Amino acid sequence: MSVLRQKPPEISNSSATGDSTKKPGMPDFKGLDAGTGPSPRARTSVILFHKPKGYLVTRKDERERKTVYHILPPFLLQEGWVPIGRLDKDSRGLLLFTQDGTMVDRLTAPGGCEKTYEVEIRGRISDDDLSRVLQGVSTSIGILKVHRITKKREVGPKTQLEVVLQEGKNRHLRRIFHALKDPKFHTPLKVLDLKRIQIGTLPLDIPVGTWRFSTPDEERQLLAIFKIPIHRG
């Protein structure tokens, strides 16, 4: 191993199928109607969502493609919950939502918050290129780099990696790997699967297409990193 540094039928911590993902210590809003009833009074200001592939992270798409708000309960859109950062349509994993603009600014600022990804690429990556991505790789939008990268394993023509970013540009990892070439075939590496598994102190721990509020302790630990005050309504 090389180491270099889915309308929910009810408002609950639920998926599009109505399956509960309530975590111990979490407020339970089951029974409130998602279409007409009042929205839950969140005890915390962060929502965790396990984004599936094929959904855009935007409030509305001019081409009428599917967005994450087609899966999430209506109150998020109605009450102005916004995503903290983005995941492109073909990526999956942890996405956070909040109504706190300060939190958005702090967690998306360069160097502000570590984000961890599992990445599967087509091709092999050399040890030299593992070092290069830490220093910076020239891409179509400039020099991009990663904070840490670990080669987990190689299976046939594919390589599985764990990557940590402190700053994320549009299609950051896809651009980096496309700029590198397989040492044997000299073809650009291609990201086959990209999954975000952690943001700061928050790990991805819910099934795909489901959401939940953070616990008070989780929120406190996350915000303590940036000295953001916790507001309660």
Q: Is 88 part of the annotated catalytic residue set?
A: yes
- Check 88, 90, 127, 217 and give the catalytic one: 88
What's the full length of the chain, in residues? 233
DSSP H helical segments within the chain, as ranges? 74-78, 101-108, 127-135, 172-178, 216-226
Using the structure block, give the residue that is written with the tokens 């309960």. Answer: 73
Q: What letter represents residue 66's amino acid?
A: K
Q: How far apart are CA 143 and CA 2, in angstroms?
A: 23
Q: How far apart are CA 123 and CA 84, in angstroms?
A: 31
The rounded radius of gyration (Å) of the Cα atoms in the chain is: 19
Q: Name, in order, each residue with C-beta under 8 angstroms of 16's C-beta and a sequence gap of 6 or more.
A: 6, 7, 8, 71, 209
- Nearest of 70, 94, 80 to residue 39 by alpha carbon: 80
DSSP E strands in the chain: the ranges are: 2-4, 47-51, 82-83, 92-98, 115-122, 137-139, 142-144, 148-155, 158-165, 190-199, 202-203, 211-213
161: which strand partners?
119, 151
Q: Active-site residues: which are they?
A: 88
